[in-house]
Amino acid sequence: MSGKKKFGTFTGVFTPSILTILGVIMYMRLGWVVGNAGLIGAIAIIIIAHIISVATGLSVASVATDKKIGAGGIYYVLSRSMGIPIGGSIGIAIYVGTAFSIALYLIGFAESFNGYFDLGMSINDLRFTGTAALVLLTALALISTSAALKTQFFILAAIIVSLVSIFLGTNDFVPDTVALFSTEDSVSLEVVFAIFFPAVTGFTAGIAMSGDLKDPKRSIPVGTLLAIGVGLVVYIGLAIFMAFTINAEVLKSDYNILMKMALFAPVVVAGIWGATLSSALGGILGGPRILQAMSLDKVTPKIFRKGKGENNEPVNALFLVFIIAEAGILIGELDVIARVVSMFYLTAYGFINISYFLESWANPDFQPTFKIKRWIGLLGFIACFLVMFKLDMVAMFGSLAVVGGLYFTLQRKEVHLQSNDVWRSVWENVVNKGLKKIDAKVDKNSNWNPNIILFSGESAHQSYLLELGKTVSGRTGIVTNFKLILDKENNKPLKKTEQIIRDNSYKELGIFARQIKVDNIYHGITNIASTFGFSGVEPNTIMMGWPKGLENSVEYSKMTETLLYLDYNLLYLDFDKKVKFGNYQSVDLWWRETDSKNAEMMLNIARFIIASPKWNNTNIRVLFVNNNNVEIEIIHSKIAKLVEDLRVNVEIKIINNAVEQKPFYDLIKEQSEFTNLTLIGIPNYKIEKQAEFVLKTNYLFESIGSTLLVKAANNFNELNLDFIHETPEK
Helix H or strand E encompassing 275: helix 265-296
What pLDDT does residue 2 have? 45
What pLDDT does residue 696 have? 87
User: Strands, E, within 501-656: which ranges?
Assistant: 512-518, 541-545, 569-574, 586-591, 619-626, 651-656
Q: Which of 200-214, 368-382, 703-717 has the lowest mean pLDDT?
A: 200-214
pLDDT average, residue stretch 710-727: 69
Percentage of the chain exceeding pLDDT 90: 10
Distance of CA 461 to the CA centre of its chain: 37
Does residue 507 contact residue 537 with C-beta atoms inside 8 Å?
no
Sheet with 651-656, side-by-side order of all strands: 512-518, 478-486, 451-455, 541-545, 569-574, 707-711, 677-681, 586-591, 619-626, 651-656
Band of the pLDDT at 418, cuts 50, 70, 90? very low
Bigger pLDDT: 306 vs 417: 306
What pLDDT does residue 39 have? 92
From residue 351, alpha-carbon distances to 156, 413, 520 in Å are 31, 21, 53
What pLDDT does residue 669 have? 92
CA angle (502 as vertex; 496, 508 as ends), nearest 5: 145
Topology classification of domain 451-711: Rossmann fold (3.40.50)
What pLDDT does residue 41 have? 92
Helix H or strand E encompassing 231: helix 216-245
Does residue 46 contact residue 239 with C-beta atoms inside 8 Å?
yes
Q: Which of 220-234, 360-374, 606-620, 655-669 has the lowest mean pLDDT?
A: 360-374
What pLDDT does residue 423 have? 63
Residue whose C-alpha is closest to residue 575's, from 446, 723, 469, 445:
469
Band of the pLDDT at 677, cuts 50, 70, 90? very high
Residue 445 pLDDT > 80? no
Q: CA 215 to CA 219: how far, in whole Å?
A: 6
Topology classification of domain 9-423: Amino acid/polyamine transporter I (1.20.1740)
Residue 582 pLDDT > 70? yes
Taking each helix axis as running N to C, give the angle between helix 74-82 and helix 265-296, from 0 to 180 degrees, rounded to the nearest 10.
40
Q: Which of 354-358, 378-382, 431-435, 601-605 has the highest mean pLDDT?
A: 378-382
Query: 309-363: per-residue pLDDT in tens?
Result: 666 778 888 889 999 999 989 987 877 877 777 888 888 888 888 878 887 887 7
CA atoms in the 13 A half-sphere facing the CB of 130 = 32
pLDDT average, residue stretch 102-111: 88
Residue 282 pLDDT > 60? yes
The pTM of the full predicted model, rounded to 2 decimals, is: 0.65
CA angle (19 as vertex; 16, 24 as ends), nearest 5: 135
Q: CA 325 to CA 501: how far, in whole Å?
A: 49
Domain extent listing, the chain: 9-423, 451-711
Band of the pLDDT at 442, cuts 50, 70, 90? low
Query: 139-180: per-residue pLDDT in tens?
Result: 877 776 666 666 778 888 888 999 999 888 876 777 778 788
- Write b or e for each residue in 366-376: b if 16 or more Cβ atoms lie within 10 A of its Cβ, otherwise e: bebebebebeb
Phi/psi of residue 663, nearest 5 degrees: -60, 145
User: Strands, E, within 649-699: which ranges?
Assistant: 651-656, 677-681
Query: 360-400: per-residue pLDDT in tens?
Result: 887 766 777 788 888 898 999 998 888 888 877 777 787 77
Bigger pLDDT: 527 vs 547: 527
SS3 708: strand
Write down the number of H helices and E strands in the chain: 28, 10
Q: Point out which residues pair with 640 in neighbouring strands.
A: none
Does residue 540 contact residue 568 with C-beta atoms inside 8 Å?
yes
Does residue 322 contact residue 101 with C-beta atoms inside 8 Å?
no
The average confidence (pLDDT) of the chain is 81
Residue 251 pLDDT > 90? no
Does residue 100 contact residue 323 with C-beta atoms inside 8 Å?
no
Query: 683-702: per-residue pLDDT in tens?
Result: 887 777 777 888 888 888 88
Band of the pLDDT at 206, cuts 50, 70, 90? low
Q: Which of 61-75, 401-415, 576-590 has the highest mean pLDDT?
A: 576-590
Residue whose C-alpha is closest to residue 708's, from 626, 619, 638, 605:
605
Cα end-to-end span (Å), the chain: 97
Q: CA 456 to CA 124: how far, in whole Å?
A: 73
What pLDDT does residue 131 have? 93
Q: CA 114 to CA 91: how far, in whole Å?
A: 34
Percentage of the chain exceeding pLDDT 70: 86
Using a 10 angstrom Cβ sphere, with 0-12 exposed, 13-18 middle and 19 or more buried, the burial of residue 636 is middle
Query: 628-640: per-residue pLDDT in tens?
Result: 877 888 888 888 8
Comparing 9-423 with 451-711, is the CATH topology the same? no
DSSP assigned state of 1 = -
Q: CA 204 to CA 378: how far, in whole Å?
A: 19
Q: CA 37 to CA 46: how far, in whole Å?
A: 11
Residue 730 pLDDT > 50? no
Does residue 7 contact residue 150 with C-beta atoms inside 8 Å?
no
Q: CA 189 to CA 32: how far, in whole Å?
A: 12
Over its C-alpha atoms, the chain yields an Rg (Å, rounded) of 37
Side chain identity, residue 294: M
